[in-house]
């Protein structure tokens, strides 16, 4: 029988925020609790939550102060919380710490853990250095990359989301790093949730095709290609007899601009839970033009829902889709090929049907329990090796 241990998870983002990091951390934390471990969750307070400790039998939440992220007022980063963390760890010293984000809160947790000799591993969930160019901050890209390399190289191990992401970390000079991967809940996301009434509410007839995009509507998601692809589809004669409906699920700073440029599209706003599962299953083709993902949970959610995915050969799509078998993959940044693939998916009904069946089959092999088991193993390996306490210089 395994011995229960205490682990600390530190993140600048947490539920009810909706993004890939919160989705992943939710599954990892629930999995560790189910395996009998005690968790300390350190995160910024959300909404009306109070700052401070909230203790339960197997989980202790330390909520700290946060500030809105520039350009993303609906998101925030946590402020440094060295004193609160020291009090928490003096009360119960964790066996290992996992840092999910590299902001001020993560930085303060890294410094204190090193001083106290607590083993630390990290996850690289977001390529913030790559975001700089999308927000007119290209002059900061080199400095951001240097900071991320410094941060992660001061942890014992950095976990990558996908094979392509692992290669990117190695190229960035982060070591050691290894693959964690991601799972998908194939009961929550399933073709069984297809809802004819929902399709009718979208203005979709029986034989019409629904093209779906879900995710944050932001500059780093390459949504210009979504606009270009839709406009190209409308102009191609082969599609004249095929009725298409574009549905966009999500929110973000580019929503107003996209609504202006895609006047015929339906924007649902943010969806979660049953509503999100029904939206996936009630569509036919999933369009994912992003080039900035470390994984892209929405890709495997769409596959589990039985959709034919059109994406680039990158992150989750590159790892789990076989081209023209369980989806369509374009070479990185080859936008013409991406649009041609989308055209083929629309025009070839039999090919699309086969892809949807294979996509569901492949997704059902991606079990979160296996990911949690690997995550637990990495934490336990770190905990087994004592560290000398010492100062960590900025």
pLDDT in tens, 237-266: 656 778 999 999 999 999 999 999 999 999
Residue 110 domain flag: yes
Q: Which residue has the higher pLDDT, 43 or 219?
A: 43
Say whether both 341 and 224 belong to one domain.
yes
Are residues 205 and 118 both part of a single domain? no
Write out the H or E segment, with its range, that includes residue 10.
Answer: strand 6-10
Judge whether 1 lies within some domain.
no
Residues 133 and 236 reside in one and the same domain: no
Q: What is the reported pLDDT for 1?
A: 42
Q: Based on the domain organization, do 339 and 249 belong to the same domain?
A: yes
Is the pLDDT assigned to residue 184 strictly greater than 50?
yes
Number of domains in the chain: 2
Residue 40 has pLDDT above 80, yes or no: yes
**Does residue 284 register a pLDDT over 70?**
yes
Structure pTM? 0.91
- 121 within 8 A of 155, measured Cβ to Cβ: yes
Looking at the structure, tell me whether residues 168 and 249 fall in a common domain. Answer: no
In-domain check, residue 163: yes
| 43 close to 10: Cβ distance less than 8 angstroms | yes
For position 287, what pLDDT does the model report? 98
Please choose, from the candidates 125, 127, 138, the residue with its C-alpha nearest in 3D space to the C-alpha of residue 171.
127
The reply to whether 207 and 137 lie within a common domain is: no
pLDDT value, residue 46: 83
Q: What is the pLDDT of residue 187?
A: 97
Query: Which residues constitute the domain of residue 330?
Result: 191-363
Residue 386: per-residue pLDDT: 60
> Has residue 389 been placed in a domain?
no
- What is the mean pLDDT of the segment spanning 101-125? 95
pLDDT of residue 384 exceeding 70: yes
Q: Is residue 388 part of a domain?
A: no
For residues 376 and 352, state if they share a domain: no
The reply to whether 246 falls in a domain is yes
Decide if 153 is inside a domain: yes
Residues 49 and 133 in one domain: yes
Whole-number pLDDT of residue 241: 79
Give the CATH number for residue 89.
3.40.50.2000
Looking at the structure, do residues 281 and 334 belong to the same domain, yes or no? yes
pLDDT band at 134 (very low <50, low <70, confident <90, very high): very low
Looking at residue 145, its pLDDT comes to 86
| Highest mean pLDDT: which range of 8-22, 142-156, 326-340 | 326-340
pLDDT on residue 126: 72
- Domain presence at residue 393: no
Please tell me the predicted confidence (pLDDT) of residue 47. Answer: 77
- State the DSSP string of 292-353: --SS-HHHHHHHHTTPEEEEESSHHHHHH--BTTTBEEE-TT-HHHHHHHHHHHHH-HHHHH
Are 23 and 138 within one domain? yes
Higher per-residue confidence, 18 vs 109: 109
């Amino acid at each position: 029988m395994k011995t229960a241990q205490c682990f600390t998870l530190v993140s600048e983002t947490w539920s009810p925020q909706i993004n890939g990091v919160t989705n992943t951390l939710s599954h990892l934390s629930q999995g560790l609790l189910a395996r009998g471990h005690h968790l300390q969750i350190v995160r910024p307070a959300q909404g009306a939550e109070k700052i401070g400790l909230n203790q339960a039998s197997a989980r202790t939440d330390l909520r700290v102060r946060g500030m809105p992220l520039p350009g993303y007022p609906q998101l925030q980063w946590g402020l440094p919380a060295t004193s609160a963390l020291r009090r928490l760890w003096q009360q119960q010293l964790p066996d290992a710490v996992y840092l999910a984000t590299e902001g001020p809160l993560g930085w303060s947790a890294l410094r204190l853990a090193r001083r106290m000799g607590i083993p630390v591993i990290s996850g690289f969930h977001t390529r913030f250095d790559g975001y700089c160019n999308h927000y007119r901050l290209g002059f900061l890209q080199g400095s951001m990359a240097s900071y991320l390399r410094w941060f992660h190289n001061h942890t014992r191990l950095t976990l990558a989301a996908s094979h392509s992401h692992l290669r990117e970390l190695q190229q960035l000079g982060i070591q050691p790093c290894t693959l964690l991967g991601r799972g998908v809940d194939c009961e929550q996301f399933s073709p069984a949730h297809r809802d004819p009434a929902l399709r009718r509410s979208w203005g979709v007839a029986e034989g019409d095709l629904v093209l779906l995009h879900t995710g944050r509507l932001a500059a780093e998601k390459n949504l210009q290609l979504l606009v270009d692809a839709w406009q190209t589809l409308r102009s191609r004669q082969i599609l004249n007899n095929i009725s298409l409906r574009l549905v966009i699920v999500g929110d973000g700073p580019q929503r107003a601009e996209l609504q202006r440029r895609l006047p015929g599209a339906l924007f649902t706003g943010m969806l979660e839970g049953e509503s999100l599962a029904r939206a996936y299953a009630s569509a036919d083709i999933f369009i994912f033009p992003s080039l900035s993902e470390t994984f892209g949970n929405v890709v495997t959610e769409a596959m589990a829902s039985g959709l034919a995915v059109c994406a680039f050969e990158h992150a989750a799509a590159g790892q789990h889709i076989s081209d023209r078998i369980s989806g369509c993959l374009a070479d990185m940044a080859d936008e013409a090929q991406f649009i041609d693939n989308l055209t083929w998916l629309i025009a070839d009904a039999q090919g699309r049907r086969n892809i949807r069946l294979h996509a569901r089959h492949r997704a059902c092999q991606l079990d979160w329990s296996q990911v949690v088991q690997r995550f637990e193993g990495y934490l336990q390996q770190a905990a087994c090796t004592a560290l000398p306490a010492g100062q960590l210089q900025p």
